[in-house]
Amino acid sequence: MVEVGTEGTVTTWSWVRDVRDGQPLQHPHALAMVRLDGADTAMLHVLDAPGPDAVSTGARVRIRWAGEPTEGIGNIACFELTGEGA
């Protein structure tokens, strides 16, 4: 285990236009592989973005924390764009 940052870089992504019940966000969003600062691998998570034109490989993102603390990855509600990067 190593400590990593709360911001990172999108390494690849896909747009989810048709949202299904049970998905973390109930509006269109991206699924992205995010490499957090200090990490050597990427993790898959939800990226809340206004549309597919706003997302790109190399875009900088930050964690949006869940309102209620939980165990594990559930503490991350989603990622959001920082406005920096590609």
Write out pLDDT tens, residues 54-78: 999 999 999 999 988 888 888 999 9
Residue 35 CB: number of other CB atoms within 10 A? Answer: 16
**Model pTM?**
0.91
Kindly state the average pLDDT of the residues 73-84. 91
Which residue(s) pair with 14 in the sheet? 31
Region label for 36, one of left (φ > 0), alpha (ψ between -120 and 50) or beta (otherwise): beta
| Residue 65, C-beta contacts closer than 8 angstroms, at least 6 positions apart | 75, 76, 77
Task: List the domains of the chain with CATH numbers.
Answer: 7-85 (2.40.50.140)
